[in-house]
């Protein structure tokens, strides 16, 4: 196997890290035998600074606003025409080749430029390509994902906010928006945010092998009374409360689970999926005592397990090299396919809330359902007005699909309206990122981020900031990068089964999920992408 070809396969197309197992074997063996320690210097350059592109970089990657990427060699910048020209290829969002040869790129179509240079002494230049490829591989956790392709970290932009002590993951944006046609807005409660100043920061990261297209990330600030809280319903209305009642008893199939459901503290109640049918339901019973008469809301703090992530990755695996074609059909507005894409999610369902009435019957009064396995979402379900001091609530949900952090009854007050706050500045690597700020605040544009990108969004809160409940509204979509390891499962018939016969698919896939369920969470969190330092 030619080392140059291996280097080209991996370095020029790092979004397909496992495309040739023999290449990995040769490169890793060479590196371990001859030593390493030299790093690839990856530099991202905004289009507005195109004149500062590092001309010593042998290759230039230009990531466009629509998720495509140009990979050029022997490239040059034409300042007068505002273009870049070079020999190379254009890849689509699924990293399939669209064009090859001499290509010219209009600079205004580019979201970000990427150059890669090497900091290696002359005496080791002969093996620099191998070292660079390996350093890039390790920095991008591609080895881990190659070994655990269905447990590799993913799921949209992540947002980190201070809880008063440290930055904590408090929101994930538009998790269900896996294609441009599915672009949507997502509102997440920053329930544990503790601002200490009217200048409020949120760290937005791309920690996965994905392309994120972010239209905006605005704060929704809702003024509240001292000591009160504000919660949001599924129809995006905001309600104030000054009365919150914890459950007095809670039990599931495992027995008592009260201690796990009393506070939003990261201590979660969860179960394992059914080994024969992944949509099998289970019951949780909760009892509340000393409930103020008139209470009419149930707060549920929860996130999904990695069951939905596994199913999404498995679906992409079955689509294999045809994934781009499936997405293209979806983009053309095929309503049958659009319904089919959400079929498995609807079959798995949300967290159904049932209230026991005066006759002892259980009456369904609402449901919580939001895609995403990363951050805990805090939801409000409005209830009929409570007439008794003791209340029985039942939750019906799919086994192994939800991780519950807290369940509480509340007495609702007034409906409130939020004020919208866009970021006043955006920083990257400690310096002002003016173009990113412009893209996030211009409704006609969007910010495209790549694995390892980190932006700090700064907002100006009202002077009495401590009297506001904060929510984050993000809008956009993301594109999952196909892993080469997935392609061994390519099977159009099974892809169609997942789309058009989800009940059957959830039976067929149950044994496969059970094989990795136990340690999938640990592997998932260990595989977050960070840029090499």
CATH number, position 75: 2.30.30.100
User: Are 134 and 271 part of one and the same domain?
Assistant: no
pLDDT tens across 177-213, in order? 888 888 999 999 999 999 999 999 999 999 988 889 9
pLDDT of 41 > 60? The answer is no
Three-class SS state of 442: coil
Q: Which of 41-45, 208-212, 282-286, 461-465 has the lowest mean pLDDT?
A: 41-45
- Give the model's pLDDT for residue 1: 40
Decide if 263 is inside a domain: yes
Decide if 162 is inside a domain: no
User: Are 396 and 510 part of one and the same domain?
Assistant: yes
pLDDT band at 61 (very low <50, low <70, confident <90, very high): confident
Averaged pLDDT, 467-495: 87
Decide if 520 is inside a domain: yes
Tell which of 115, 147, 179 closes a domain.
147
Averaged pLDDT, 271-286: 98
Mean pLDDT of the residues in the chain: 83
- Give the model's pLDDT for residue 341: 65
CB environment 325-339: b (16+ within 10 A), e (fewer): ebbeebeeeeeebee
User: Are 241 and 94 part of one and the same domain?
Assistant: no
User: Are 124 and 251 part of one and the same domain?
Assistant: no
Instruction: Please indicate whether residue 413 or residue 127 has the higher confidence score (pLDDT).
Output: 413
pLDDT tens across 321-364, in order? 777 676 666 666 656 655 666 788 899 999 999 999 989 999 99
Averaged pLDDT, 293-298: 91
Distances (CA, A) of 489 to 484, 485, 493, 494, 506: 10, 8, 11, 9, 16
Decide if 184 is inside a domain: no
Q: Which of 65-69, 441-445, 508-512 has the lowest mean pLDDT?
A: 65-69
For the packed helices 21-34 and 3-11, what is the interaxial angle rounded to 10 degrees?
A: 110
Q: Find the CATH number of the domain harbouring 316.
A: 2.60.120.260
Widest distance between CA atoms in the chain? 85
Tell which of 147, 169, 190 closes a domain.
147
Structure tokens at 157: 């932009």
pLDDT of 447 > 80? The answer is yes
- Give the model's pLDDT for residue 145: 65
Decide if 209 is inside a domain: no
Quickly tell me which residue has 């042998």 as its tokens.
Answer: 58
pLDDT tens across 77-106, in order? 998 889 999 998 898 766 678 899 999 999
φ and ψ at residue 460, rounded to 5 degrees:
-100, 105
Query: What pTM did the predictor assign?
Result: 0.74
pLDDT tens across 8-34, in order? 443 344 443 333 333 433 333 333 333
Distances (CA, A) of 188 to 64, 166, 470: 28, 19, 9
User: Are 518 and 377 part of one and the same domain?
Assistant: yes
Tell which of 93, 117, 147 closes a domain.
147
User: Are 362 and 508 part of one and the same domain?
Assistant: yes
- Give the model's pLDDT for residue 143: 54
% the chain with pLDDT above 70: 81
User: Are 20 and 134 part of one and the same domain?
Assistant: yes
- Give the model's pLDDT for residue 94: 60
Sign (positive/negative) of CA torsion 437, 440, 445, 449?
Answer: positive
pLDDT band at 68 (very low <50, low <70, confident <90, very high): confident
pLDDT of 392 > 80? The answer is yes
Decide if 197 is inside a domain: no
Instruction: Please indicate whether residue 495 or residue 390 has the higher confidence score (pLDDT).
Output: 390
Q: What DSSP assignment string belongs to 162-212?
A: E-SSSEEEEEE--TT--SGGG-EEEEEE-TT----SSEEEEEEE--SSEEE
Burial of 283 per CB tally in 10 Å (0-12, 13-18, 19+): middle
User: Are 236 and 129 part of one and the same domain?
Assistant: no
% the chain with pLDDT above 90: 54
Decide if 210 is inside a domain: no
pLDDT tens across 116-173, in order? 654 444 433 333 333 333 333 334 455 556 666 777 887 789 999 999 899 999 999 9
Q: What domain range is 121 assigned to? A: 3-147
User: Are 240 and 388 part of one and the same domain?
Assistant: yes
User: Are 136 and 232 part of one and the same domain?
Assistant: no
- Give the model's pLDDT for residue 331: 63
Number of domains in the chain: 2
Decide if 376 is inside a domain: yes
């Amino acid at each position: 196997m030619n080392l140059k070809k291996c280097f080209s396969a991996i370095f020029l197309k790092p979004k397909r890290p496992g495309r040739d197992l023999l290449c990995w074997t040769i490169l890793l063996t060479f590196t371990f035998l001859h030593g390493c320690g030299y790093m690839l210097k990856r530099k991202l350059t905004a289009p507005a600074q195109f004149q500062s592109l590092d001309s010593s970089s042998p290759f230039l990657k230009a990531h466009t606003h629509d998720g495509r990427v140009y990979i050029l060699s022997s490239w040059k910048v034409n300042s007068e025409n505002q273009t870049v020209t070079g020999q190379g290829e254009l890849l689509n969002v699924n990293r399939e080749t669209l064009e090859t040869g001499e290509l010219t790129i209009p600079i205004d179509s580019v979201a970000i430029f990427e150059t890669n240079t090497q900091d290696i002494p002359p005496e080791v230049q002969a093996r620099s390509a191998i070292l660079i490829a390996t350093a890039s591989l390790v920095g991008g956790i591609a080895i881990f994902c190659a070994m655990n392709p269905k447990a590799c970290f993913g799921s949209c932009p992540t947002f980190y906010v201070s809880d008063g002590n440290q930055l904590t993951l408090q929101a994930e944006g538009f998790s269900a928006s896996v294609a441009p046609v599915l672009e949507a807005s997502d509102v997440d409660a920053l329930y544990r945010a503790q601002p200490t100043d009217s200048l409020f920061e949120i760290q937005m990261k791309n920690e996965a092998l994905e392309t994120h297209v972010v239209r905006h990330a605005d704060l929704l600030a809702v003024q509240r009374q001292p000591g009160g809280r504000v919660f949001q319903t599924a129809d995006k209305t905001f309600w104030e409360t000054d009365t919150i009642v914890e459950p007095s008893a809670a039990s599931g199939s495992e027995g008592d689970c009260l201690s796990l459901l009393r506070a939003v503290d990261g201590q979660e109640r969860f179960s394992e999926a059914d080994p024969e049918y992944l949509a099998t339901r289970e019951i949780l019973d909760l009892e509340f005592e000393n409930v103020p008469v008139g209470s009419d809301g149930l707060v549920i703090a929860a996130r999904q397990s990695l069951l939905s992530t596994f199913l999404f990755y498995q679906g992409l695996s079955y689509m294999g090299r045809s994934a781009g074609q499936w997405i293209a059909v979806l983009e053309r507005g095929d309503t049958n396919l659009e319904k089919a894409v959400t079929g498995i999610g609807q079959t798995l369902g949300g967290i159904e809330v049932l209230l026991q009435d005066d006759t002892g019957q259980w009456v369904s009064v609402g449901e919580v359902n939001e895609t995403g396995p990363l951050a805990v979402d805090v939801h409000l379900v409005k209830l009929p007005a409570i007439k008794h001091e003791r209340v029985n609530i039942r939750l019906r949900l799919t086994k192994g699909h939800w991780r519950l952090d807290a369940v509480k009854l509340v007495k609702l007050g007034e409906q409130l309206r939020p004020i919208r706050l866009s970021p006043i500045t955006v920083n990257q690597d400690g310096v002002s990122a003016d173009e990113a700020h412009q893209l996030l605040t211009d409704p006609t544009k969007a910010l495209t981020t790549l694995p390892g990108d980190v932006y700090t969004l700064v907002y100006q809160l009202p002077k009495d900031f401590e009297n506001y409940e904060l929510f984050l509204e993000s809008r956009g979509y993301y594109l999952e990068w196909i892993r080469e390891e997935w392609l061994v499962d390519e099977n159009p018939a099974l892809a169609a089964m997942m789309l058009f016969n989800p009940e059957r698919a959830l039976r067929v896939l149950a044994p496969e999920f059970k094989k990795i369920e136990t340690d999938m969470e640990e592997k998932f969190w260990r595989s977050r992408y960070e840029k090499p330092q």
